[in-house]
Structure 1
Amino acid sequence: MHAANGGYNGTGLTLAVVSTLVFTRKAPLNSQTRNQSKHGRSPFLAGIGIGALLFGMHSLLSDTSTMILWAWEGYPVRGPLPVLHGWLTMAAMTVGLLSGILRPALITTWSLYGVGCLGAAILTACHNWSGYYGGLITAFYLMAVAGPFITAAAKENPAVTFGLGFFLYNFMVLFHVWVVAYAFVPGGPLVRERTDWIMITMMLLIGLGVFNLRNRRPHDHITSESRPAPQHRRYHTLALCAINLFFLATAYLRFPPNDYKPYHEDARVVTAGIWTVHFSLDNHMWSSEYRIRDLIKELELDVVGLLESDLQRIIMGNRDTTQFLAEDLGMYVDYGPGPNKHTWGAALLSKFPIVNSTHHLLPSPVGELAPAIHATLNMYDELVDVFVFHSGQQEDVEDRRLQAAYLAELMGSSSRPSILLSYLVTKPLKGNYNTYVSETSGMHDVDPTDRTRWCEYILYKYLNRVGYARVSRGTITDTELQVAKFVVPKGEGEKAQIAALDGDPQRRNRRVQELDVPESWRFPTMFQGKGVRGHRYHVFNAPRYYKPA
C-alpha cells in the first residue's frame, strides 16, 4: 500500500515510532518474573507454541472474512456473510482474549485444548454455518491461549522463544502456500491440497505449548498476583468493548441494500467481462483494488468474472478484494471456491440477483486445480446461466483436455441462455477450443475472427451478442480485460429469432459500424484513442458491433 492506493504508511510509521519510544522508557515487563520461571518449563516448547499461535492468528484471524470464506458454498446463502456476520469472529476473539487474561489456569487445561482441536477440525471438514461455528471455536481458543503463551515466552530467553517461534511461523507460512502452489515449488506434490495437515500440525504445536505451561511443579500455580491488576483488566475490557461497538457500527453502515440496478435496464442490455486480476497486485506489486474498481465502473460492467482472486492467504495479505468491489460498485458477489479449496480463486460480481450458484473443481490430475462457478442470474426476469472458469497451465496437456470435456458437459447441461467468462489457454479454432465451442456445450465464440487470443475467452448461447471489446490492462495486472455486450431476449418471438441464428454463423456474426447500433449498445468513448490511465481499446483499436441481417 501507498498513499495513491489508500495506504497510511506515514501515519503507521509515526505511531510505531511513538509507541516504541513510550514502551522503551518503561521497565521491562518480565523483569520480576524471568528468574522465577524455571520450574520445569522449556524455552524450546514455549517457542514452538508461540510459532504455531502466530501462524494461527495471522492465517485465520487477521481478516474477519477469512474463515467465513472457508465455509462459503455459494447461493442460495446457507452460511455466514462477511459484512453481516464478520462481527461474530470479532466477538469470539474478544471473549477468548478476556478469558485468557482473567482465567489463564482454566484456558490452559487439556480439556479446553481438546475443544480447540475440535473447532479446528470442524472448520476444516465442514461448510456453511457448521464450518463457521468451528471457526468461532478456533478463534476463541487461539485468542484465549495467546496471553498465557506470550507471558510464558517472555519469561524465557527471547532469542530462543521468539527466534524459534518465528522460524516455525515462517515454516508454517511456506507450508500453507505449498498446498496450493504445489505445481510450482520443489516437493509441492507431497503436500498437494493438504490443508488438513496444516491444521493438524498447528494444533499439535500449540499442544506442545500447552504441555509446557502445565509442566510445572505443584507450587508454580497461577496466582492472583500474576494476573493483570484490576485497573488493567478494566482497561482491557473497556478497550475491547469499544472496538466491538465500533465494528458493529461499521457493519451497520456497510449493510448491503440489495437493490442493485444494471446500467441499461430499459434496453435489456448485459455488459459482461472477464479479467485475471493477479491477486489485486499490479506490475510493481502495489495493491490495485481501487484501479480495478474504477475500470469496471467506467466500462459499465453488469457482470464480471475475476480470476486469481483468492487473497485470503498470508502472502496475499488476507485481503477481501471481492467484497470491497461488491460494496463500492453496488453488486452481488459470489466469492467462488474458498481458500481451503486450494485454487488461486474465481469470483463473480453481478448487478443482477444471483439465484443459485455452485462451485466446481475440475479434473487436475497433475497441475494446479481449475476452479469454476456455475451461477444462475435473474436478468430482466429471465434466468441466465453464467460460468466463470480458470483452466490449467499450458504444460498440463491432459489436465486441460479433461477440464475442457468437463466444462463442455456442464455448459451443455443448461438449456438456459448462458455466458462463459473464462481463461482457457488455447488457440482459437484449435485443440480444446473445439471442445468448448461445440455441439456438446452449445456455446458460440463471441468473435470467431479474433485469432490473437490465448488465455481469455467469452462464449455465449441463446443471447443476442451485440458488442465485443478488448481493453488494455495498463499496469494493473498482466492480462487485458475482455468485454462483451448482450441483449436478453424478451418473449417467445425474440427467442425464436435468436434460436434461428444457431445454424447460420454468417448472419449471427455480421458486423456493423458503431453508428448502426443504438446508444445503449455502445461501449464508453473514453477508452478510444489513447484512452485513460493506460486503458484503451486495443488489438482492434475500437470495439466491434454485431447486428444479424
Structure 2
Amino acid sequence: MALKDKDGQTVAAFSGKWISISHTLMAYCAFIGALVVGLSLHYQKIVQNEFYGYPEEWFPSVSSTIGDRYPERSVFMLFIALTSGPRLALVGLWYILTRKSNSSLPKFVAGVGIFRTLTCGGWTYVTSTDDHDWHDIFMISYLVSTLPWTLGCIALSSRSPTAIGYRKLFAGSFFATLVPLIYFFIQHKVHHIAGAYTIYSFFEWALVLLDVAFDAVTFSEFQDFEIVVKDNRGISRGTGNKTVSDAILEKEKGKEIGATFSGAFSVFGLLDAVADVYNGFVFWSMLTSLGVCVWYFPLWHMGISGYEVIVMCTISPFILGIKSFRYIVVRHVRVFHLLSLSGLLAFRAERPVPRLFAVGFGLSMSCMAWAATFFAERSQPRRLEARISAFSIGLIASSVAKFAFWTNNPIWPIMHAPNGGWNNTGFGVALVAILISTRSTASAGADIAAPGPITKGYSIFASLGLAGVLFSMHSLLSDSSTMISWVWEGFPIRGPVAVPHGAVTLLAMGLGLTIGLFSPNLSRSWAFYGVGSIGAAVLTTTSHWSGYVGALVIAIYTMAAAPVLITHATRHSPARTFGLGFLVYNFMVLFHVWVVAYAFVPGGHLVRERTDWVMTAMMVLIGAGVFSASAQPSSKNYKGKAVVTAAAGRQRSYYLYILGALELLAIATAYLRFPSYNYTPYHPETKSITAGIWTIHFSLDNDMWSSEYRMRDLIKELEVDVIGLLESDLQRIIMGNRDSTQFLAEDLGMYVDYGPGPNKHTWGSALLSKFPIVNSTHHLLPSPVGELAPAIEATLDCYGELIDVFVFHSGQEEDPEDRRLQSLYLAERMKATPRPAILLSYLVLKPGEGNYNTYVGEQSGMKDIDPSDWDRWCEYILFKGLRRAGYARVSRHTITDTELQVGKFVVGEPENGNDIIPEEQVPPGLRFPDLFKGNGVRGHRYHVFDEPRYYA
C-alpha cells in the first residue's frame, strides 16, 4: 500500500538510519555488556567448562557469559529487550524498501525476519537451565532461519555496490566461521582437548558480531528514509515542517538469483513442486529398499537363492521400445505411478516372499513411469528440468529422511510401526502427491523431438552415462554416512563422523545439483569430469579428512552431472537409454556386491576386493555420458526459441526453496543428534564391565524386519557396557546403505567404533562401549582363500584403568587354513598387550579342539570364560588380567540366528578360578537381571544353563 500524506502538523521527524544505529548499539551492548560484567565478577566461573577450567581455558563462550549468573544475565536481557523494538522496525523498513508488485520474496524475507526476532526472544528468556528442550528449539529455529534471511537480504540488496559488498563480506565470513567453530567444538566435546573450547569461544563471539554487523549495513540504505510523526487533529504542541519522501528506489533486476526468485509467488506452484519432489522421494525409497529385500534370501540360504533375479525389475523401460505401449504409458502415466505404490504397501505382507514381489513390481512400474515422464517432457525444457529437479531432490530427501531416522528410511518395506516405520503416512502422502503432480503432463507432445539442434552422439553412450550416474547416486549418496564410513579408521578420531558431518555431505549434494541447474555447460565439461574423477580416486585411496574431501568432490560432481546426463538421455529412445541404462546399472550393482561376496558367487574370486575397479568402471561410464553430451551443441547457441524464461525461473525457485528447506532440516537433525558423550556404565559402584558378543545378521530379523529396536531393548535390559557386533557392515546397496550402530550408540548412550569400512571388503565388526575408546586399530587378518576376517583392537578407559578389547570374526568352516593363520595372528596380538584384555569373537571351532588351543593358553595368554561350556561353535568370550564374575547365554528369539553371550568382569582384581558359586553369594551389582529367568520376556531367556553362572 502506498503511503498517503494527510494534512496535519509534523511534530517529529528523524532519519531512518537511526533505526539501524539503535539496533546495532543495543545488540552490541547486550553481548559486550554481559561480557564485561562477567569477566569482572565471575571470570574463573564463566571460563570453566565440563572438562577444564582456568588456566587451560581462559576465555568464556557466549552461552556461559549470558547464562544464569547474576548480574550478567540481567544486563544481557535488559539490552536485548531494548533491541526488540528497533529490530522489528528494521524488518518493517527493509520490507518497505524492497517490496515489489511482482515478487513475493520481500514478504517471505520479512516473515523470516519477524520469526527470527521472536525465536531470539525465546532462547534469550528461556535458558537451558529453565527448560533445555525449549531453549534448544528456539536456538535451532533462530540459526536455521538465519540462512534464508541472509540470502534473501542479499538477493534484495539495493543498487549500492558498497552495501552489497559488505553484506557478502559479513555473510561469507559468518558461514565460513561455522567450519572452524564445529571443528573446535568437536575437539572439545569428543577429544577433550584442553584449550579447544577457548578457541571455539572466539569463533562463537565472531558469529555474534558478524550477525549483528550484517544487519548494520542497512544504515547506508535507511539514511534516505525519513520517519515522520504527524498530528492530524492538533492535539500536540509540537512544531516542525518535515516532509516524507514519496518514492523508493527501484532495485536492479539483472542478477541471476534475483531473476530466479522474482515474480509472483504461487502457493499452487509450490505445492506442485513439493508433490513432484515427493514422487522422486518415493522412487528412491523403493529403489534403495529393493537391495535389502533381495539380500534377505541369499543371507538365509548362505548362497544364491534364485530370488536375486528380482533386481532386474528396473529394466522395465525396455518395454517403451514398443511404440504402441509407449503411447499408452505416456498418456496414462498417472496409472503407472499409482501402480508403483504397491512398493510402499509391501510392508503389509507379513511373509518375506510376497513382500519382495510387491517391491519388485512397484519399482518396475516406477522406473517405467519416470522414464516415460522424462521422454514425454523432452519437448518442453522447462517442464523437463522440473521433473529432473524433482528426481534429484528426491534422492536428497531420501538421504535426509535416513539421516533423521538413523539410516533407515521410514517408508521402507522392512519398516513398520513396531520398529519406527511411517508406512501408512508415507503411502497416504504419496497417493496425494501423484494425483497432484500428474494432473498436468506433456503427453500430447510426447513424440515431439527435443528443441534445439539435431541430436548428436550415440544412444549407447548416453545410456552408459545414465547407468554410471545412477550407480554413483545410489551407492555413494543414498545415505549421508556411507562415504564417511569409507574413510573411518578408528580412534582417536582423525576425520569426519556420521553426526554431524552427514549434514555436510547433504550440503555438498545440494550444491552440486544447483551447479547442474545453473551451469549445465560446466557440468558437461571434461575439466569438471576430471575434477570428479580425482575426487573418486582420493575417496578410494585415502582415509580421514583427505579422503572425505574426495567424497565431497564426487558428491558435488555426481549431482551436477545428473541433470545434464538425464536431459541428454531423453533425446534418444527411452528403451535404448533408460532400459539399457538400468541394465548396466544392475551389472554395476552386482559388481559392487561381488567384490565382498566373492566366496559365495560364481566367478567371485576374479573381482575379489577390487573396489578400485568398481570406482573406475563407474567413472568410465559417466565419462561415456559426458562424451555423448559434450558432442551435443548447447541449446543456448541454437537460433530457435530461448529456453530460459521468466516462468522457468519462477518454477526453478520452487525447487530451490524445497532444496533449501531439506538442507536446513539436515542441519537441524545434525544438531539434535549430536552425541552428548557423557556416558556411564550400569554399575560403576562395583567397577564391573558387562561385555557381550552378538552376530546380528545385518540387522534383519527372521521375518525381514529391521531389528535395531529389538536389539536395543535386549542390550539395554541385559545392562551390557561393552558389546561386539559382527556381520554389522550394512553400507552397501544390498544392505540398504545403513548403519545400525548409529541408532544403538545414540539410544543406549555408548561410544562406537564402526570397524573396517565397506571399502575394506568384510562383512563387518563393530564395538559399542559405555567407556571412552582411547585408541582403536582395525585389522584384516590373513585370508588367502576365503572371505576377509575383520578385527577391532581397542583400548578402553574403564574406571581409570586401560583395558584392551578385541572384536573378531574369523573365516568360514570351509577354509581351515585361513582360520589357522587367523588364530596365530590374533593370538600374537593378544599376547603382545601388557594390559588386561577381553576377546569378543566368532571363532568357528569346538571347545578344546584345534585352533581353540591357540586362542586359549600360553600362546595367547587368554582364558576361556567358561571351559566347561561344550555347546559352543561360533561365539566365544576370552579374557586375561580381570576377575571373571559371571557368564550367561541369552536366546535371540527371532532377532537373528545367533544368541547373545555376556560376561561380567571386575576391574582392578586378579584373575580367579573356575569355581561356580550360587547367586545368593554375589553382590547385587554383579548379578544378571532376573528378567530373563524362566520363560524370560519376548522370547529371550537364559538358556543352555537355564540360568547365569557366577564365579568365586
Q: Shorter chain as normaliser: what TM range?
A: over 0.9
- Rounded to whole Å, the distance in 2 between the matches of 1:54 and 1:37 is 26
1:227-306 mapped onto 2 (5 Å cutoff): 229-306=648-725
CA contact (8 A) 2:636 2:642 kept: no
Amino acid at match of 1:486: F
- Deviation of 1:289 (Å): 0.7
1:110-509 mapped onto 2 (5 Å cutoff): 110-217=526-633, 221=637, 225=643, 229-489=648-908, 494=909, 497-498=910-911, 501=912, 508-509=913-914
CA contact (8 A) 2:781 2:788 kept: yes
CA contact (8 A) 1:277 1:309 kept: yes
- Rounded to whole Å, the distance in 1 between the matches of 2:590 and 2:607 is 11
- Deviation of 1:165 (Å): 1.2
2:426 is aligned, of 2, 7, 12, to 12
CA change 1:14–1:38 in 2 (3 A) is farther
- Rounded to whole Å, the distance in 2 between the matches of 1:300 and 1:442 is 28
1:531 aligns with 2:936: yes
Q: What SS does the aligned partner of 1:395 have?
A: coil
CA contact (8 A) 2:635 2:643 kept: no
Partner of 1:518: 923
- Rounded to whole Å, the distance in 2 between the matches of 1:519 and 1:193 is 49
User: What's the TM-score once normalised by structure 2's chain length?
Assistant: 0.55
CA contact (8 A) 2:893 2:938 kept: yes
1:75 is aligned, of 470, 484, 491, to 491
Listed as ranges, the gaps of 5+ residues in structure 1 are: 502-507
Partner of 2:255: none
Amino acid at match of 1:304: I
CA contact (8 A) 2:453 2:635 kept: no
CA contact (8 A) 1:423 1:456 kept: yes
- Deviation of 1:36 (Å): 5.0
Alpha-carbon displacement from aligned partner over 1:191-210 (angstroms, at most 9, x marks no partner): 00000000000000000010
Partner of 1:40: 456
Alpha-carbon displacement from aligned partner over 1:258-314 (angstroms, at most 9, x marks no partner): 110000001101100000000000012211010011101010000000000001011
- Rounded to whole Å, the distance in 2 between the matches of 1:305 and 1:224 is 61
After superposing the two structures, state which structure 1 stretch, 37-46 or 213-222, moved more.
213-222
After superposing the two structures, state which structure 1 stretch, 23-32 or 180-189, moved more.
23-32
1:79-118 mapped onto 2 (5 Å cutoff): 79-118=495-534
After superposing the two structures, state which structure 1 stretch, 25-34 or 297-306, moved more.
25-34
After superposing the two structures, state which structure 1 stretch, 317-326 or 19-28, moved more.
19-28
Partner of 1:504: none
Alpha-carbon displacement from aligned partner over 1:442-473 (angstroms, at most 9, x marks no partner): 00000000001000000000000000000001
- Rounded to whole Å, the distance in 1 between the matches of 2:466 and 2:425 is 29
Q: What SS does the aligned partner of 1:375 have?
A: strand
Listed as ranges, the gaps of 5+ residues in structure 2 are: 1-414
Amino acid at match of 1:533: R
CA contact (8 A) 1:64 1:86 kept: yes
CA change 1:33–1:102 in 2 (3 A) is farther
Amino acid at match of 2:555: A
- Rounded to whole Å, the distance in 1 between the matches of 2:709 and 2:560 is 36
- Deviation of 1:218 (Å): 7.3
- Deviation of 1:157 (Å): 1.9
Partner of 2:436: 22
- Rounded to whole Å, the distance in 2 between the matches of 1:335 and 1:423 is 17
- Rounded to whole Å, the distance in 1 between the matches of 2:642 and 2:547 is 37
CA change 1:221–1:463 in 2 (3 A) is farther
- Rounded to whole Å, the distance in 2 between the matches of 1:308 and 1:525 is 29
- Rounded to whole Å, the distance in 2 between the matches of 1:193 and 1:487 is 41
Structure with the largest fraction of helix: 2
RMSD: 1.6
- Deviation of 1:19 (Å): 2.6
Amino acid at match of 2:680: K
CA change 1:408–1:224 in 2 (3 A) is farther
Amino acid at match of 1:53: V
CA change 1:221–1:146 in 2 (3 A) is farther
CA change 1:37–1:182 in 2 (3 A) is farther
Amino acid at match of 2:897: D
1:540 aligns with 2:945: yes
CA change 1:219–1:268 in 2 (3 A) is closer
Q: What SS does the aligned partner of 1:478 have?
A: coil
The structure having more radius of gyration, on CA atoms, is: 2
CA change 1:229–1:337 in 2 (3 A) is same
- Deviation of 1:243 (Å): 1.1
- Rounded to whole Å, the distance in 2 between the matches of 1:232 and 1:364 is 56
CA contact (8 A) 1:34 1:156 kept: no
- Deviation of 1:15 (Å): 2.7
CA contact (8 A) 2:636 2:643 kept: no
Q: What SS does the aligned partner of 1:273 have?
A: strand
- Rounded to whole Å, the distance in 2 between the matches of 1:37 and 1:468 is 75
CA change 1:36–1:428 in 2 (3 A) is same
Q: What SS does the aligned partner of 1:229 have?
A: helix
- Rounded to whole Å, the distance in 1 between the matches of 2:598 and 2:635 is 49
- Rounded to whole Å, the distance in 2 between the matches of 1:295 and 1:269 is 19
Q: Percent identity?
A: 64
- Rounded to whole Å, the distance in 2 between the matches of 1:205 and 1:226 is 30
Partner of 1:505: none
- Deviation of 1:217 (Å): 4.6
- Rounded to whole Å, the distance in 2 between the matches of 1:218 and 1:392 is 55
CA contact (8 A) 1:390 1:423 kept: yes
CA change 1:260–1:42 in 2 (3 A) is same
- Rounded to whole Å, the distance in 2 between the matches of 1:538 and 1:216 is 69
- Deviation of 1:54 (Å): 1.0
Aligned residues: 533
CA contact (8 A) 1:37 1:156 kept: no
CA contact (8 A) 1:39 1:220 kept: no
Q: What SS does the aligned partner of 1:460 have?
A: strand
CA change 1:37–1:3 in 2 (3 A) is farther
Alpha-carbon displacement from aligned partner over 1:401-443 (angstroms, at most 9, x marks no partner): 0000000001111010000000000000110000000212100
Q: What SS does the aligned partner of 2:807 have?
A: strand
Q: What SS does the aligned partner of 2:692 have?
A: strand
Structure with the largest fraction of strand: 1
Alpha-carbon displacement from aligned partner over 1:59-109 (angstroms, at most 9, x marks no partner): 100111100000000000000011021111011101100000011011110
Structure having greater relative contact order (Cα 8 Å, sep ≥ 6): 1
Amino acid at match of 1:58: H
Partner of 2:133: none
Amino acid at match of 2:928: F
